[in-house]
Amino acid sequence: MFQSFYSFVFFDDFHFYKCSDTLFTVQLPADTTLCEGETLQLTAQVIDSTYMLENETRHYLWSTGDTTPSITVNQAGTYWVQVSIDGLYSAYDTIVVNYIYNFSPQIAPYPDTLCLGQSAWLGVQVPQEVSILWSNGDSTATTQIYEAGVYYVHTYNECFSYTDTLVVYEKDCSPPPVVDYPIYIPNAFTPNGDGVNDCFQVSAENVADYHIQIFNRWGTMVYSSTDPKECWDGQYQGKPVQEGVYLYLIRYTDRDGNPQTPKRGEIVLYR
């Protein structure tokens, strides 16, 4: 009697996993601060992975919408990445990127000359986070100076710095002294027609806006003129005046227009 046997063999794939409480984590660099114009490459690093198949498939999703393992950022913000393996498990991490921006210091208007004995203020305008250092040691936005000179203001942050120079000259602001230009005023004359000292004339040079007035003892103005080259012949309204003492008042300025001290006095008329 012939007896036959049949055998059945089945094949399948077997996968073995490492047991752990944590499957994997994703790590980004620590929060960082960059200078304006710099870029930063962020790479999602998968570590402590206990769910690693021979042909595992990783999927990346960044807050920017990118799906690559790395991205490059060039502006401030909070960035995150989520990594999924085989569509079963996922992990994510976050990084904050700050930027220090460039700035342009603005020097406040200031006097370019400083009067002797006076003070002035210098100032600079910068963003609040920018530091200030003046050459006199002040660290505020404005500084008071008491003498002329060359002043420097240094403005800076962690990435950028500028130095501006402010030149202040010195001058004497006191008013110029009043120069009393001398004039010669005779104290007597004899209008008798003998050709000697017949006319009362003031000798005045380097003067302008000249005005002379002559009064008798009763206060009547007997002569007036604005021309220093003219003289008084001792007449009033076409007739000779009496002998006696007469008063004069002379007002004038120098050629620069500066008023001079008025001249008052007496003259004696002899016949």
Give pLDDT tens digits for 3-41. Answer: 444 444 444 554 444 444 457 889 999 999 999 999 999
The per-residue pLDDT for 87 is 73
Do the strands 183-184 and 149-156 form a parallel or antiparallel pair, or are they unpaired?
unpaired
Coil, strand or helix at 49: coil
Q: Tell me which of 222 and 116 has the higher pLDDT.
A: 222
The per-residue pLDDT for 2 is 44
Residues ≥6 apart with Cβ < 8 Å to 18? 50, 52
Q: How many helices (H) and strands (E) does the chain have?
A: 0, 24
The per-residue pLDDT for 8 is 45
144 band by pLDDT with thresholds 50, 70 and 90 = very high
213 band by pLDDT with thresholds 50, 70 and 90 = very high
The per-residue pLDDT for 27 is 94
Nearest CA among 225, 182, 175 for reference residue 201: 225
Nearest CA among 55, 51, 44 for reference residue 19: 51
Residue 220 pLDDT > 90:
yes
169/115 Cα distance (integer angstroms): 9
Amino acid at 213: Q
53: Cα separation from own chain's centroid: 67
52 band by pLDDT with thresholds 50, 70 and 90 = low
Name the range with the highest mean pLDDT among 10-14, 89-93, 163-167.
Answer: 163-167
**Greatest alpha-carbon span in the chain:** 194
Structure token pair of residue 40: 């930063």
Structure token pair of residue 156: 């800076």
Residues ≥6 apart with Cβ < 8 Å to 8? none
The per-residue pLDDT for 259 is 87
